[in-house]
Structure 1
């Protein structure tokens, strides 16, 4: 008795078509995810440039209007960074000696903004102290998206 191999070939072809379709879907999903991630990164970089410009202006003028705009931009940066899937509220790290350490980056940024507000409100603070606070906040924001 002869066994027909034609039927077997058709079944194998159907399996291969299913596998290639799922691979194409995965590749499309990965491409979309990479493109979306790239757009989010570009948006965060644009916000960071705006924060730098307003921060420089705040360092020179020390006006409440510039302070309010700076705080608004920083808050928007933090909201967008958290919204885009970066788990930023709390992270868990281990130190060199094996002890655990929790970092709360967003809380640190809020505290730094409050400190900057107090420095601008007391007009006696020097420009250097205000600029150092702005630099500290910028460093914390860079830590958020790097």
Structure 2
């Protein structure tokens, strides 16, 4: 049965931090408006505090389209890198994980998301932001996202 699961900012922050911990990424603050506006920390190839906006453009051809806006990395409050430098580094890492990169857009195979999240029994039809929530449309979502 098709249903919609809504995630609030805290839900998303928890999920990202659970997966990001092993990669050296932690979200400390997340606000959902038209985009996912976040701040956090990076430890690894790039180190420092990171802020930015990620837009959810939906799913097309079995790929989740994410658009990155206004990404900044700072260290101890001093500006360290701008969006284009960070995007180059992130693009390289993304390609290593089979994520397609088109400018500031990342195209992630839905099957890869399901595999990473151990959600193999789900069907994800759409993902969008509405009313300050991330909405995921599909089947068998509640067992994975809310349970």
Normalised TM-score (structure 1): 0.20
More helix by share: 1
Structure with more relative contact order (C-alpha pairs < 8 Å, separation 6 or more): 2
